[in-house]
């Protein structure tokens, strides 16, 4: 891999796949009564979920099978997140709970991967305070997982890997529990350096997969039964560095593939939401008419402190273009409450933005300081009680808007992908159309993975209710 070419050499990946075969042979000889189980606990964003699917693919090549619980597994892997402190603490708690499994069966292998382990202080904590953890691997070392597991099962010393170079490893197998839905990573890393965000430090700079590799994977997904494909990137709109294309052209090429599927994409950065992207988004029938466009704050002063590189006015201009091009677009966003220095006036600006844009839904968070980011060192950190009070007011305003937006669907007929059985009622299925808004209806498990025709008869703040047509 070079600075100009982020791709990891095929020989490196091939060597790791050869190691998978060695581990498979070891497992066959060691476990005569059946294949050993693996268990993956995933925290964080969709990119982490996609990474875990690749981890599962490698585990399958090594001769492991999915286990129903960590206790039933011989290989336990925790894929961590570093975006918020809460996620880190929860991951550390889960890792701590694996100690009794290791005590009961010393041959159990425990590994920790993902964004959290990239941070030196967390890596040191795992090394010094969790002696039963066999190895760590950050996001840039996922392709090295086979050799780390081989070391663990053959009694090698503990190993803690933090990448200095981040590359793109093609050819790693993927295991998906739901073949009709698929994450498709098209790029990795981020160059934006928002002042609150740890991602550029734990996932490296932006690097894009070749369009040829993406198209090939998309074609394979469609032929394998994928009905819903989501293109992933920390800033998916900036896809294309080092290639001969951009995100808009890439989506056009994917939409030209044969097959019945819907295409989503996330996460978009407002500064890179080009007119060309909006044009393609509106015209291509296979692109789901859902646009996730994180704003984070409605205050220009706070946006500048966040290093977001756009103003409220510029953001609203993009929203206006989206709605003109696609009047029925489903809009969602991310909001941070309690950013350092946020005044009541700044917060009121955010509330007024919600009322002006009228998002279908938002993903809202109380600011969490991340060690190593500029915002963590800023003066005027907001007291927790103030942040919580503002957060509650934010949800109150948005809940009213979401309910109003949902009411417009009552009486409509929609086509939606049936995704799962309701967690509270086995006679109720959950489907989704273009947006992430769940649609609940009476049905049976045979419908999962199928497109169903539904008539919406009711709604609440967060869901739609329908009957099969």
Task: Kindly state the average pLDDT of the residues 199-216.
Answer: 93
Residue of 306, 300, 295, 301 lying closest to 376 (CA atoms): 306
Task: Kindly state the average pLDDT of the residues 31-58.
Answer: 95
The strand order across the sheet containing 262-266 reads: 181-185, 228-232, 262-266
What is d(CA 72, CA 321) in angstroms, rounded to the nearest whole number?
52
Contacts 24+ apart (CB under 8 A), 397-400: 397/351, 397/354, 397/355, 398/354, 398/359, 398/361, 398/362, 398/364, 399/461
C-alpha distances (whole Å) from 84 to each of 73, 87, 90, 93, 433 are 28, 6, 10, 15, 30
What is d(CA 248, CA 96) in angstroms, rounded to the nearest whole number?
44
pLDDT > 70? residue 160: yes
* Beta bridge mates, 331: 291
Q: What is the pLDDT of residue 3?
A: 45
Task: Kindly state the average pLDDT of the residues 410-428.
Answer: 94
Q: What is the pLDDT of residue 164?
A: 62
* Beta bridge mates, 114: 80
Top-level CATH class of 413-468?
mainly beta
Helix (H, G, I), strand (E, B) or coil at 56: helix
What is d(CA 319, CA 378) in angstroms, rounded to the nearest whole number?
31
Residue of 434, 456, 358 lying closest to 399 (CA atoms): 358
* Residues 6 or more apart whose Cβ sits within 8 Å of residue 337: 347, 350, 364, 365, 366, 367, 387, 390, 391, 394
Domains 178-288 and 302-308+328-408 agree in fold: yes
Residue of 355, 461, 465 lying closest to 414 (CA atoms): 465
Q: What is the pLDDT of residue 51?
A: 95
Fold (topology level) of 302-308+328-408 = Transcription Regulator spoIIAA (3.30.750)
**Which CATH architecture group holds 178-288?**
2-Layer Sandwich (3.30)
- pLDDT tens by residue, 254-292: 999 999 999 999 999 999 999 999 999 999 999 999 999
CATH node for 10-161: 3.40.50.12160
How sure is the predictor about 424, in pLDDT bands with cuts at 50, 70 and 90? confident
Task: Kindly state the average pLDDT of the residues 304-312.
Answer: 98
Name the residue ranges covered by the structural domains of the chain: 10-161, 178-288, 302-308+328-408, 413-468
pLDDT cut 90: percent of the chain above it = 88
Q: What is the pLDDT of residue 270?
A: 96
- pLDDT tens by residue, 326-342: 999 999 999 999 999 99
- pLDDT tens by residue, 51-96: 999 999 999 999 999 999 999 999 999 999 998 888 999 999 999 9
Q: For residue 300, give both structure tokens.
A: 């220009």
- pLDDT tens by residue, 1-30: 544 567 788 899 999 999 999 999 999 999
Contacts 24+ apart (CB under 8 A), 242-245: 242/4, 242/5, 242/6, 242/207, 242/208, 243/208, 243/210, 243/211, 244/211, 245/211
């Amino acid at each position: 891999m070079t600075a100009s070419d982020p791709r990891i050499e095929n020989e490196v990946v091939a060597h790791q796949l050869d190691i998978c075969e060695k581990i498979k042979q070891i497992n066959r000889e060691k476990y005569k009564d059946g294949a050993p189980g693996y268990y993956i606990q995933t925290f964080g964003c969709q990119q982490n979920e996609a990474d875990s699917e690749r981890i599962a693919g490698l585990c399958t090549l090594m001769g492991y099978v999915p286990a129903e619980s960590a206790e039933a597994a011989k290989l336990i892997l925790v894929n961590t997140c570093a975006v918020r402190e809460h996620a880190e603490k929860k991951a550390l708690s889960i890792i701590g709970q694996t100690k009794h499994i290791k005590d009961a069966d010393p041959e159990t292998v425990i590994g920790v991967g993902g964004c959290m382990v990239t941070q030196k202080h967390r890596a040191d904590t795992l090394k010094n305070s969790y002696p039963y953890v066999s190895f760590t691997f950050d996001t840039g070392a996922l392709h090295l997982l086979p050799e780390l597991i081989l070391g663990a099962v053959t009694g090698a010393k503990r190993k803690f890997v933090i990448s200095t170079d981040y590359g793109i490893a093609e050819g790693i197998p993927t295991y998906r529990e739901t073949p009709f839905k698929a994450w498709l990573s098209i790029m990795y890393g981020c160059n934006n350096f928002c002042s609150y965000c740890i991602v550029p430090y734990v996932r490296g700079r932006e690097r894009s997969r070749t369009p040829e590799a993406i198209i090939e994977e998309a074609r394979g997904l469609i032929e394998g039964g994928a009905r819903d494909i989501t293109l992933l990137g920390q800033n998916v709109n900036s896809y294309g560095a080092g290639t001969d294309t951009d995100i808009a052209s890439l989506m056009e090429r994917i939409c030209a593939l044969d097959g019945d599927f819907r295409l989503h994409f996330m996460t978009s950065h407002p500064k890179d939401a080009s007119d060309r992207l909006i044009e393609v988004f509106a015209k291509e029938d296979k692109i789901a008419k859902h646009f996730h466009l994180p704003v984070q704050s409605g205050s220009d002063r706070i946006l500048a402190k966040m290093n977001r590189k756009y103003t409220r006015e510029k953001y609203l201009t993009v929203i206006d273009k989206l709605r003109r091009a696609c009047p029925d677009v489903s809009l969602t966003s991310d909001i941070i409450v309690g950013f350092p220095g946020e005044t009541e006036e700044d917060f009121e600006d955010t509330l007024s933005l919600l009322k002006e844009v009228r998002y279908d839904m938002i993903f809202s968070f109380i600011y969490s300081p991340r060690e190593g980011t500029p915002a963590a060192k800023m003066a005027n950190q907001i007291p927790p009680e103030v942040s919580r009070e503002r957060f509650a007011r934010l949800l109150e305003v948005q809940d009213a808007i979401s309910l109003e937006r949902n009411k417009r669907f009552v009486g409509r007929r929609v086509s939606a992908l049936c995704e799962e059985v309701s967690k509270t009622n086995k006679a109720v299925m959950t489907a989704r159309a273009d947006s992430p808004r769940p649609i609940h209806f009476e049905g049976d498990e045979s419908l999962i993975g199928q497109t169903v025709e539904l008539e919406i008869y009711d709604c609440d703040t967060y869901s739609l209710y329908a009957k099969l047509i």
